[in-house]
Amino acid sequence: MSTITSTGLGSGLDVSGIVSKLVAAERLAVDTRNTKKEADDNAKITAFGNFKNALSDFKSSLSALSKTSSFQKISSDSSDSTIITASALSVADVASYQMEVKNLAQSHALASKAYVDPTTVVGTGTLTINFGTTTYDANTKVYDGFTQNPAKSSLSLTIDSTNNSLTGIRDAINNANAGVSASVLNDGTGNRLVIKSTDSGVKNSLQIKVTEAGTPGLSDLAFDGSNPKMTQTRAAEDALVNINGLDVTSPSNTVSGTLKGVTFNLLQVQTSKTVTINVNRNNADLNTAISSFVEKYNALITMVNSVSSYDPGTKTAGVLLGDSVVQNGMSQIRNSLTNAVDGTSSSLRTLSDVGIGLQKDGTLKFDSAKFSTAQSSDIDGVTALFSVLGRSTDNNVQYIGSTKDTKAGTYAVTLTQAATQSTLHGGSISFPLTVDATNNSLAVKVNGIQSDNILLTQQVYANGADLASDIQSRINSDSTLKANNLTVGVSFDASTNRLTLSSKTYGSTSQIEITQGSATLGLGAAVGTTGVDVAGTIDGVTGVGNGQYLTSANGDSKGLKLLIADATLGSRGTIAFSRGIIDRLSGTLDNLLSTTGSIGSRTAGLQKDISNIAASRTALNARMAQYQARLLSQFNAMDALIGSMQATSSYLTQQLAVNNKSTN
């Protein structure tokens, strides 16, 4: 008898339907559990994502409040901005100034004689332009003297056949970009070379010395004591301004350094008018920053409440209700916000002291009036409350920076060795002293960098001060040294009749050496003393010196960096260092937002759960496939048996029917 292969043919039952329902019933509980767990995990991942985004938004509001400058912004205004304007830095004092502009600064300008054509050949040789104070009577054209400005480098130009016309000399001066400009101007009588100092002020007037080579003519551009052939078209002048009854001069119409942190811009002279300049504290940007800080924190609280609170009205709970990650994270943030700041002597030690209070619902409220009052009475205290700050009791010990290792506290500073510069003393010389082609050449090495050949101005020097100014100017004009930001100082000691050269760099890298000397000047080839680094202790621990910078290497003050600006040994007072609430908050938020932090770990765990659910579904599908196959096999066997029995029944029925017929 053939085997029944189609389910239900033998029994007439819907075997496929029965098996499908049995399999569905078998997997229902597991599927339900997996679906619910997956939905819960996804909801928590979304909630943690929202929590993390709110934390990031809150952290973004900390940036402006972490900067010391944000708390000490100063603004200024002028009662007449057509005469004077002003700008102020954070160190400026809040004050009001009565000002009167009596004179504006102007730069020195000279003009040559008239030439027929701009391409006219002037002459060849060397053109040397020095900067300093000129004593010159424009009416009598008497040149009484010149004192070089040692702070400004001289300009030496070689004039040859490639640049010996008016336009060629003009271009040579302008291409040097050395504090002087030139132009060719036709005034109707001819073409004149106009040379002008780019800096105003009496100490920046021009001296032009000429050394002829070949056909005479270049000397017509000279303007010095022996040969003032150029015409002075404008004298160098300083600005003169009266501030609160005191006359102040300035080489520039931008007056800075007279008042701490305040720069005045003089625009026009009006001796009959007094202009009022007010310097005030500018809180607008800071108030905006604090308002943003409060707003972002309150948005964080609102978001946290939405995912972790219980609503008794709707009897629904947030997906993160009771979650330890959220609870611990918010507890850390609240502690960072409300705990007092260490390392400051100010009475302003908590946010509530400056008008930022915690309300009953957990949000913050900003009282701008209370904040302004606190800022007016103790600006340093407000700054220390928010940002990282070091305050010194010694004006010549300046806080420069710190590291994450530096702990809040007050640290004593002691100086055992002051930083020094390399110095080199020359031999004794006498005056008047003639510098000519036989003794005007020098070469120096500064901090290991070799200069080019340096040529001094050939002239008779009446005193050591003039010679020192020229040597300093010439050395500092060297292109190699300038490219490496290296400068020297040169002075003359009248008591010993010696020149002294010194590197402007402090510390063990400071070294000056004369590699090519001039015995006539008392400057033979020699090596100067080597500079030393500052040495001392911070909080009783020996610091690391680098030039004038002293840095703590160990202890609670580790990483604290100070600038020691003078040479006084012994106790140098204390540095009060505070980290501020913003630094503390930033650290807390960084830890929470880190990929290895509690939120990242919890999210990773939830993602792993979802992966496990997917794996569980795969395993369940395989198991259910086996279960279905087993059920089908069993039902098919039963179906075949029933089919066989039905066939036997039919056969017996037929046989009985035949027998009955035969009997009848």
Predicted pLDDT at 9: 52
Contact partners, residue 477, CB within 8 Å, separation at least 6 = 153, 154, 155, 156, 178, 454
Predicted pLDDT at 10: 59
d(CA 26, CA 28): 6
d(CA 436, CA 414): 51
d(CA 578, CA 340): 11
Asked whether the beta carbons of 266 and 101 are under 8 A apart, the reply is yes
Q: Tell me phi and psi for residue 230, to 5 degrees.
A: -70, 155
Predicted pLDDT at 2: 39
d(CA 550, CA 535): 7
DSSP code of residue 179: S
pLDDT digits (tens, 9 = 90+) for 472-513: 988 998 989 999 999 999 999 999 999 999 999 999 999 999
Give the mean model confidence (pLDDT) for residues 267-281: 92
Q: Tell me phi and psi for residue 204, to 5 degrees.
A: -115, 25
The class that CATH gives domain 28-73+284-388+580-632 is mainly alpha
Which helix (H) or strand (E) segment holds residue 85: the answer is strand 84-88
d(CA 627, CA 26): 9
Closest CA to 580 of 385, 407, 392, 391: 385
Residue 81's DSSP bridge partners are: none
Contact partners, residue 453, CB within 8 Å, separation at least 6 = 441, 442, 443, 516
pLDDT digits (tens, 9 = 90+) for 383-430: 889 999 898 999 999 999 999 999 999 999 999 999 999 999 999 999
Beta sheet of 544-546, edge-to-edge order: 397-401, 561-564, 549-551, 544-546
* Sign of torsion over alpha carbons 623, 625, 628, 630: negative
Predicted pLDDT at 16: 84
pLDDT digits (tens, 9 = 90+) for 155-207: 889 999 999 999 999 999 999 998 999 999 999 999 999 999 999 999 999 99
Taking 60 as the threshold, does the pLDDT of residue 343 lie above it?
yes
Q: Is 662 exposed, middle or buried (0-12, 13-18, 19+ CB in 10 A)?
A: exposed
d(CA 275, CA 99): 5
DSSP code of residue 7: T
Asked whether the beta carbons of 64 and 291 are under 8 A apart, the reply is no
pLDDT digits (tens, 9 = 90+) for 137-169: 888 888 888 888 888 888 889 999 999 999 999
> How is residue 237 written in tokens?
């002048």
Grade residue 650 by pLDDT with cuts at 50, 70 and 90. Answer: confident
Chain centroid to CA 575: 23
Which three-class secondary structure string do you get for 114-168? CECCCCCECCCEEEEEEEEEEEEECCCCEEEEEEECCCCCCEEEEECCCCCEHHH
